Amino acid sequence: MPRSISLLLLWLALAGVAGAQTAPAADPPGQMLLVGVRTAPPFVIETEDGYAGLAIELWEDIAAERGWRFEYRGYGLEGLLDAVAADEVDLGIGAVTATAERMTRMDFSHPITSSGLGVAVRDSDGAGWLALARAFASP
C-alpha cells in the first residue's frame, strides 16, 4: 500500500491536505493508517475523547466504508504540511488552503466546502447620480 493517500481536503476555503497516490481498496491486515490532523473548527475539533468535526466525520465514514483502520496524530499547520510531504503520515485533515507552492509538495483532494466574499452596505435613500454624489460629499 502506498504510504500516501489522497486527503479529503478541507478547504474551508480551505480544505485539507494530503500526499497522494492511489487509495487502497482495503487496509491490508495489521496495517494502521496514520492520519495527521490540524485543529480547525468546525472541521476538526479536539475533544476529550479525540477529534470530532465535519471533516473528521467525513473521513470516518469513508474509512468505515473502505474497512480502513487509522490513528490520529495532532499537528500545527506547518507540522501537518511537513508530515504529509515527508510521508510521516498517510494523509492529513484540517482546513488548509491549496496554494501553488503547496501543490508542488503534495496533492490535494477536491474541496468539500467553499466560501465567498459578501459585502454589506447600509440601506440608502434613493439611487442614481444624486445618491452617488451624496456618497462623496456630506453636509
Summarised one tens digit per residue, pLDDT across range 105-133 is 999 888 877 777 677 766 655 667 777 77
Give the CATH number for residue 97.
Answer: 3.40.190.10
pLDDT at 122: 67
Summarised one tens digit per residue, pLDDT across range 85-104 is 999 999 999 988 888 999 99
Count of domains observed in the chain: 1
Q: Is 21 inside any structural domain?
A: no
With beta carbons less than 8 A apart as the criterion, state whether 118 and 101 touch: no
State the alpha helices, DSSP H only, in the chain: 54-66, 77-85, 100-105, 129-136
d(CA 110, CA 15): 8
Name residue 22's amino acid: T
Helix (H, G, I), strand (E, B) or coil at 102: helix
State the alpha helices, DSSP H only, in 21-76: 54-66
pTM of the model: 0.63
Domain span including residue 75: 33-136
d(CA 34, CA 85): 13
Q: Is 1 inside any structural domain?
A: no
Summarised one tens digit per residue, pLDDT across range 19-76 is 333 444 555 555 899 999 999 999 999 999 999 999 999 999 999 999 999 999 999 9
